[in-house]
Structures are given as structure tokens and as C-alpha cells.
Amino acid sequence: MKKLLTMNELTISEIEGILHEAECFANGTSWIPKQLTTVANLFFEPSTRTKSSFEMAERKLGLEVIPFDAGTSSVLKGETLYDTVKTLEAIGVNALIIRHEQDNYFDELNEKIGIPIINAGDGCGNHPTQSLLDLLTIKQEFKSFKGLKIAIIGDVRHSRVAKSNAEALTRLGANVVFSGPPEWFDRTNSLGRYEDIDHAVATSDVVMLLRIQHERHIDKYDQANGDYLEKFGLTKQREKNMKPDAIIMHPAPINRGVEIDSDLVECSRSRIFKQMENGVFIRMAVLKNVLEQTEGGNIHENSNQK
């Protein structure tokens, strides 16, 4: 794996390999590069989980991390993404992790940049490492994806998590359905049908809530009237109707009391903080896979089980 930009570029076998390696890292396996390896995290959009867990993963793998702050970089003087990336490549960075507000920002970099790029989120497009950590969380719970019903609920139209997960889960044999405000669901979406929220919650194995992506809306949804939770969110009443072994997921950040009742965020069905924990191990596995493909990247493995 020389880069990771979308879930669709990964074969099923590559997905399974990454999930397996992430489990190994979670169980204490260590791996570090044989030679000094330097990475930079270029986040042009806000992030808490993805940026921090990439940094944690990088430290656990013994990588050098060049600090990059978009708010104090020469991007503010008009430098393009392409020239920023070329600059970091020129000064010796070995791999880049990039989050950017533009859908498919990587298309303009793909052929012209010689170092690997790992996509940490592109606009409404893709969020492959979030999808992989979600897959790991589901696999830990249900062992297999085949035949599972996964309800992705909320701002589907603007969610890169919904897109990456629906693509991957469908290929892995799960049955994906969508719910939420109908105007935020594209009826031509071939990855899953739309279901009424009460039916979707009551019949699914995984109930995955999404935040309203206000920053990507042209027309702002008025939640001041406070009816979003009742109409489209996971209320305590809906949670009572969930299947006995069904779990709650959310990529976060969470808007408590909007898409999910605050009391459900840490309830026994919730795997939301488990998702975040898994994010570190998934990002270690992705970095290892990518760096192993770069020159001299093959390194030192040590299976220290916890």
C-alpha cells in the first residue's frame, strides 16, 4: 500500500490485513522503522481525534513528526496546497497526512508528489482511516460483517464518514441503510436505501449517528427550535427499541442533545470511545503499511504480547 486516499482503492484482503495488524498493535506488537522516518500532519480543517491519534500512532512507531500549523504557515500568504506539499517533500519529509476542505484534494497531488499521502479527510468526500477504525470496532463486536444491518443516520449528504463506511461495509457484505432529514439524503445513492428513523433504529445491529456538518451547509439547518433530536436523533425512547445486542457508534465530535441524547453517549451500548481508542491502532497499521512500501522502510518487528 503506497498511499491511502479512499476506501475503494483497498482490496478486501488489504482491509482485512490492516484490521489484523491493528489488532496486533492493540495486543502489544511493536514495529519501528530501521532508519529515521519523518512525517508531517497537514490539517487545514479542525480536528481533535484524527490529528491526535495520528500523532499518538506516529510516536508509538518512533517516527519524527514535523510540526505544521496551517494557521501560521505560508498558506496564509497565498501558497497553494501543491506548493506546500512540494516544499515538505523537498526538505525531507517521508510521508504526509493531510486533511483538507476540498473534495478529492489529492487528485492534483497524486502524480506529482513522490512521497506517500494518507488522507485524513477531504471535504464531503472520504475519511478512510475513520472507516477502518469503525470496521475494527464492528468486527470486534460481531466477528464478521456479512448480513449485519448498519443504519447511518443524520447528515448523510455532507458526511465523508458515511460515504467511506457505506462503500466499505457494502463490499464486506453488510446491509447499509440511511436515515435522517430526507433532504440530506441523495435518492440516487446506490450504497443503501432510506428508512424511517424508528424502523432503522429498531432493526439494525449498528446505529451510527452523524453530526450535522454545519460548515458544509449553504442553507443552515435551524436547530434553535430544538426538534432535531426528536425528529432525527437517537432519543432514550428509540434506544429502548434497539435490538438487544445492537451497538451505538458515532465518529465524533458529538453534539450532545442534537443527534444523540447526552445520556446515551456513554451508555452500555455505546462504542464511541472504543472507536477513538481503535483509531490509534488503525493509524499505526496504516502508517506501517505505507512506510513499508517506501525505500528502506522495512524494519524491525517485535511481537511483545501484552
Comparison of 47 and 223: residue with beta carbon closer to ligand CP: 47
Q: In this complex, which beta carbon is closest to ligand CP, that of residue 66 or of residue 254?
A: 254
**Interacting residue with ligand CP among 147, 173, 182, 253 (CB under 6 A):** 253
SS3 207: strand
Separation of alpha carbons 44 and 100, rounded Å: 5
Cβ proximity to ligand CP: between 121 and 192 the closer is 121
Segment lying near ligand CP (by CB under 6 A), choices 62-70, 78-86, 88-96, 248-256: 248-256
Per CB under 6 A, the segment of 43-51, 192-200, 254-262, 287-295 that binds ligand CP is 43-51
48 versus 303: smaller Cβ distance to ligand CP: 48
Q: How far is the CB of 275 from ligand CP (least distance, A)?
A: 8
By the rule CB under 6 A, 30 interacts with ligand CP: no
Q: How far is CA 98 from CA 27, 38, 47, 71, 84, in A?
A: 28, 15, 11, 15, 11
Contact call for residue 251 and ligand CP (CB under 6 A)? yes
Query: CA 78, CA 87: separation in Å to the nearest integer?
Result: 14
Build a one-symbol-per-residue string for 45-84: x at contacts with ligand CP by CB under 6 A, - elsewhere.
Answer: --xxxx----------------------------------
Return all residues near 262 (Cβ < 8 A) that are at least 6 apart: 256
- 243: cell is 435490538
Smallest separation, CB 267 to ligand CP (Å): 20
3-state secondary structure of 59: helix
For ligand CP, give the closer residue by CB, 124 or 252. 252
Is 255 among the residues that bind ligand CP (CB under 6 A)? no
User: Are 206 and 151 contacting, i.e. CB atoms less than 8 angstroms apart?
Assistant: yes
C-alpha span between 215 and 5 (Å, rounded): 22
19 alpha-carbon distance from chain centroid: 14
Contact positions with ligand CP (CB under 6 A) in 88-127: 121
Does position 180 bind ligand CP by CB under 6 A?
A: no
Q: Considering the rule CB under 6 A, would residue 252 count as an interface residue with ligand CP?
A: yes
Residue 57 in contact with residue 171, Cβ under 8 Å?
A: no
Q: Which residues touch 169 (CB under 8 Å, ≥6 apart)?
A: 135, 138, 145, 148, 150, 176
Binding of ligand CP at residue 210 (CB under 6 A)? no
Measured CA to CA, the distance from residue 26 to residue 5 in angstroms comes to 24
What is the rounded distance in angstroms from the CA atom of residue 117 to the CA atom of residue 141? 30
Closer Cβ to ligand CP, 24 or 152, answer by number: 152
Tell whether residue 130 is a contact of ligand CP (CB under 6 A): yes
Judged by CB under 6 A, which stretch of 26-34, 42-50, 186-194, 288-296 contacts ligand CP?
A: 42-50
How many of the chain's residues bind ligand CP (CB under 6 A)? 9
Which positions lie near ligand CP, rule CB under 6 A?
A: 47-50, 121, 130, 251-253
